[in-house]
Structures are given as structure tokens and as C-alpha cells.
Chain A
Amino acid sequence: MTRLRRLLGELRDAIVQAAFSLVSHKLRALLTISGIAIGIMTVILIFMVQSGMSASFARQLSTLGPNTLFVHKWKWGVSGSDWWKYKNRPHVTMLDLRALQQNTTLPVAIAPLVNTLATVSHAGKDVKGVDVRGTTDGYLDATGWQIRRGRFITALDQEIGANACIIGADIEDAFFKGQEPLGQQVRVGPNMRCDIVGIFARKGNAFGQTQDLRVVLPLSSFIRTFGSKRGLVVAVVAPEGKVRETEGEVTAVMRNARHLAPDQEENFSVNRQDKLLEGFEQMMKATNITGILVGIITAIVAGIGIMNILLVSVKERTREIGIRRAVGARRATILWQFLCEAVMVALVGGAVGIALASGAASIIDLISPLPARVDPRVMLGGVIGSAVLGVGFGLWPALTAAMLQPVEALRYE
């Protein structure tokens, strides 16, 4: 009971003294507090953006089948150094596509993909930045997309280069509120008019961007309008459990189509989702490392600020320490009196940082399509983190205060 009362009395005293000490050095306290606040805010925001990205990536993955292979000039998930090697490879062409369609046996679906961003217009109204894709009838099977109304592209459309298109839900909303889009025309790009023959089911967002702002054309019509400079990506869907075999077959057929000798290196890549995933994980690792680095730098900068505040405080209050020790304060009392001050600075900084991060998150949430919110667990982490920071960097100055000899402290001028 007596010990508890002593503890409470000391705690109250420590808090009052710490507050006094901070208020009497407003500028220095303010600088350190804002240092901690900015650091904590930055770290919280980095991890918030990162978790937002991985959430939408997970959604994106589920929209692409896990059994799909992508034949492409580029190797996915490879960064930087080999750029020229891939750049100089030939594009995947219609010839390659045809070879794949004719000479493979395993795939359940094959579809070429090529896309560009273009303006789509109807009745004098423009929508910019529409994802315009050229493909063939295998597309639905290869991607899992669904038609809500009307039909998809047929082999015949592709054959004759028909001016037919399927529109996404956002295009429907933009041009045909309350009207029947099927049978109407839109203009795609500068000069292509095409008939709407189908409407996609709504897909929602991926990577924070709508997937419904799109128009799909027959590949032949796309090439006629936008040219063939880009080359193709050919999506090949392997039967369940036969991804490896299919990959082997596709590679063999492609090597054959490209007339590669057995000792020649491949000049195309057969990509899989998990390669994309690898690339994504690398990116996540990079943001993680960035977050951790920023966190460490922040912690050091903020910690030095805390340490400085405490060292000055210990110096200024040396006599006071002597007085307290002379009337019965133990070393531990002095120790946690100063720790209290350190933790107080750190906690105020942490709280301000969390508030700033929450504010920034609501602004991001308002003005961007990314849903942004600071997780309560992250807030708790911020509070605990700043308290640990305070104790960690306050410990040494507080210990020097606690180890002072009473006479020496009393003599200090």
C-alpha cells in the first residue's frame, strides 16, 4: 500500500516535472516532436500504400486465371539490366499466333492480346484514356471475362476485320444512360466507327483502377486502325494441372515457328502469372525495405532529438536531482522520472504523426480511387513504437542522471 502510494506520488510528480520541462523549452520540444511526427506519418503512409497495392494485386490475380501462360517478347518480372536483350527480340506476330493455334494440342484456349489507350466518342461526347484491346474469340476463355448482354467477337469478325466492338460497363454508363447500346455506334480512336455488339459484365477495380473503361475489337480491325508496331501477347490457357507440359509444348512450337537451332537461345518468353507475382513481390520487398529504412532513419533522427532534450534536461536539473536524492529519492525514482519525460515527447510526436497520417489517408481516400485508411492496429503500433523509441533513446541520459552522487549533484552550479 505504502509502496503503491509512493509509486503514484512519484508518477504524478514525474509527469508534472516532464511537462514543465517540455513547456519551458517549447522550440526544442516542438522540433523533436515534429521530427518524430513526420517520421511516424511517413512510415504509416508507406505501409498503408503498400497494403493497398497488395490488396488490389490479389484481386487482379484472381481475375486472371492461374493456369494462363503468356507468350511475349518480354520476360516478366525482370528488371533493368537485360533491357536491351529483350528490346531487340522480334515481336510476337500473327504468324506466331497461327503456329500456336495450329500446332499445339494441350491448350484449352488461345487468345492474342494487344492494347492501347485511345479516345472513344459517341454523339459528340468523348471519353479519354479508354483501354482499347484487340483480340480474337478465345479471349473470354483465356481471361475469364464475361458478356452481360449481346455477343463476343466471332472467328468471322476476325476474318473479315469487322467493325464490331464489345464495350465495358463504364462506357455504357458514359454514353447510354437509360438507352439501349446494342446496335449503336461508337468511334474508336481517330477514325474507326464500330457497331456495339456486346456489353461486358462489370468487373470493378484492380490496382485502384477501373477495369470497365474498355472496348474490345477484333484483332484484325485493331491492327488496321492502330497498326501492328506493338507486337502481341498470346495468352495460352493450360488445362488444370498441366501447366508445365503446356509450357513445354508452347516453347517447342514457338522455337519451331522461329526456326531456332537446338543450341540457339530463345528469342521469346513464355511467362506465367507467378513470374508477375515474383516481380510484384520484389516490388513489395522494395517498398518494405524503403519503409523500414525510412523508419530506421526516422528513429535515429528522432532518437537523437530525444536524447538531446534529455541530456540538456539532466544538466539543467542536476541540482534538483541532488535535492531529490538528499530527501530520499532512490536511483530508480530519478531514472524513471527522466524516462517519463522521454516517453512523453515521443508519445506526443507519435500521436501527432498518427493524426497526420490519418488526415493524409482521408485526403487520399477522397481524391483518389484508392481506398485509404489507417488500420487501428497500425495506430497502436505507432504508439508502442514511439514509446519504445522514447525509452530506448532516453535510457542512457536517464541512467547518467540516476547514477549521479548526491553530493556532486548538490554542488553542481
Chain B
Amino acid sequence: MALIELEHIVKTYDLGLSKVPALRDIHARIERGEFVAIVGQSGSGKSTLMNIIGCLDVPTAGIYRLSGRDVSTLSDDQLADVRNLEIGFVFQSFQLLPRASALENVELPLVYRGVAKKERRDRAVEALATVGLEDRMKHKPAELSGGQRQRVAIARALVTQPSLLLADEPTGNLDSRTGEEIFHLFLDLHAGGNTIVLVTHEPKLAARCPRAVRLVDGLVIADGPGREVAAANAEALGAEALAQFQAAERAAQAGARP
């Protein structure tokens, strides 16, 4: 049984005067243990799809099955529990509690899981150590750099040991080196058996994922090995993106042939 099954998913935003079709007919399956990148131009519906997969939003039509359960049959409380127990979500804009320390932010999902205080603390510390932030635990988000904040957000997503890790442009706000570090973290997590779905607009990152899905105007246009899909996407994005992509390709080949 696939972890994620999307059947004819449609999402239409009703703005009163006009209707915006964000997702038109999405059909996809993602197995346990996969590492999938979602690429596509701005406005193609990537975030909308991620929110639906993350049980933060519901589709206008179509069926979404998570571990075989039709999500539309779940109550609001059950959805909250699914988000807490099964899904770790990393947002593009971090979404950390501004008044809480890094440690408290990472502890939050465990509070809603009813984990005892001591264990909560231990696990949060461990998760922060995984992302290399053991020396910044008492800092508030405002006292951290962008990359550090994103790592806190990742630690928060990891701390519950979710079966599904969703990340919506986790490197979008970071410089390329920090982005690379974060991406490596995801590769490690994938190697450790996690299922990961990652939205990215960087072709060179998508190219390194085993599988990529390309969205255009709310439709799946391509679904296959990361390199092929990423190349097609970069082409569509224009000459500049393509050049960037090819440069990255060359660098990767040069690195692989020492």
C-alpha cells in the first residue's frame, strides 16, 4: 500500500468574483521511503498540493489517501492528530513561535502528544543536535540566523519521528551553501528510511532527488527520475535557469571524476 495516494485532486480557490484553479487533476502515488521533489513555476500549485498532503488543507474534489485512509472521512481532531503523529512539515517561512526558545519550539509537537516533560526535553535536545544546533537551544527565533531558524523548523518536524516529512522550499530563503547543508540533512534522513517530499525551485537540488514531479498550472506534466524532470523544468524556466542547471551538472560530473 502506497503511503500517499492522490486521485483526481482538484483545488479551486473561490475569490467570489472569480475562481482560481490551483490544482486541476492531480494523480500520484508516493511509496514509503521515497524521496520526491516537486518542481514547477511560481503559481503552479506546489504549495497548495503540499498543504493538502500535509492535512493542513482539504481538496475541493478528489480523494487523498494517507496510509490507506481517506483523509476526507477524518474529523478535525483526527486530522490534528495525524499532523502531530504522522507528518513533519517544514515551511518555507519557518513558522516558529516568536516568543518561544528554539528548544520550546521543538518541544511543542511533543506537548500535544502528551510526552512527559523530561522525555520531551531529551528528545528536543536530540533533534536539535541532529541539525547541529545544540549550542543555540535557548535562543529565540529572532536571535538566530535564517539557516539556523530553518534548522530549528526541521528539528521540530523531526522530533516526533514522523513517517512522512514534507518540506516546502526549505532552502528558498537561504544562501546556496546553507541550502546545500540543509539538503544534505534531507539526504541523510532519506538514507535513514524517512519518506520525504520536497518542494524546490532549484533545478540542481531537484536533479539530485531520485524522483521529481513537475507541475504546470495545476497539472502533473512530468514524473520521473529527478535529473530528467529537472532538466525539462529548467528549460521551461528559461535560458538563465538552464545555464545554471548545466553548470551544476558539469560541477557534479567533475566532482564524480576525481
What residues of chain A have their CB less than 8 Å away from a CB belonging to chain B? 1-7, 9-10, 13, 17, 20, 319-320, 322-333, 405-407, 410
* Interchain CB contact under 8 A, B80 and A407: no
For residue B54, which residues in chain A have a CB less than 8 angstroms away from its CB? 326
Question: Which residues of B94-121 are within 8 A (CB) of A?
Answer: 95-99, 108-109, 111-117, 120
Q: How far is the CA of A1 from the CA of B109 in the complex (A)?
A: 17
* Interchain CB contact under 8 A, B156 and A327: yes
Whether a CB of chain A sits under 8 angstroms from the CB of B81 is: yes
Q: Which of A17, A326, A331, A332 contacts B83 (CB 8 A)?
A: A326
For residue B98, which residues in chain A have a CB less than 8 angstroms away from its CB? 320
Contact with A along B53-85 (1 / 0, CB 8 A): 010110000000000000000001100110111
CB distance from A411 to the nearest CB of B (A): 10
Q: Which of B80, B91, B99, B116 contacts A328 (CB 8 A)?
A: B80
* Interchain CB contact under 8 A, A6 and B91: no
* Interchain CB contact under 8 A, A324 and B114: no
Whether a CB of chain A sits under 8 angstroms from the CB of B89 is: yes
How many pairs of A and B residues are in contact by the CB < 8 Å rule? 79
Q: How far is the CA of A146 from the CA of B140 in the complex (A)?
A: 81
For residue B80, which residues in chain A have a CB less than 8 angstroms away from its CB? 325, 328-331
Most-contacted residue by chain B among A325, A328, A329, A410 (CB, 10 A): A328
Whether a CB of chain A sits under 8 angstroms from the CB of B163 is: no
What residues of chain B have their CB less than 8 Å away from a CB belonging to chain A? 51, 54, 56-57, 76-77, 80-81, 83-85, 89, 91, 95-99, 108-109, 111-117, 120, 156
For residue A9, which residues in chain B have a CB less than 8 angstroms away from its CB? 111-112, 114, 117, 120
A-B contact pairs, 23 of them (CB 8 A): A2-B114, A5-B116, A6-B113, A9-B111, A9-B112, A319-B95, A320-B97, A323-B95, A323-B96, A323-B97, A324-B108, A326-B89, A326-B95, A327-B83, A327-B108, A327-B109, A327-B156, A328-B83, A328-B84, A328-B113, A331-B80, A406-B57, A407-B57
Q: Which of A6, A323, A330, A405 contacts B57 (CB 8 A)?
A: A405
Q: How far is the CA of A367 from the CA of B137 in the complex (A)?
A: 59
Most-contacted residue by chain B among A7, A20, A329 (CB, 10 A): A329
* Interchain CB contact under 8 A, B51 and A407: yes
For residue B96, which residues in chain A have a CB less than 8 angstroms away from its CB? 323
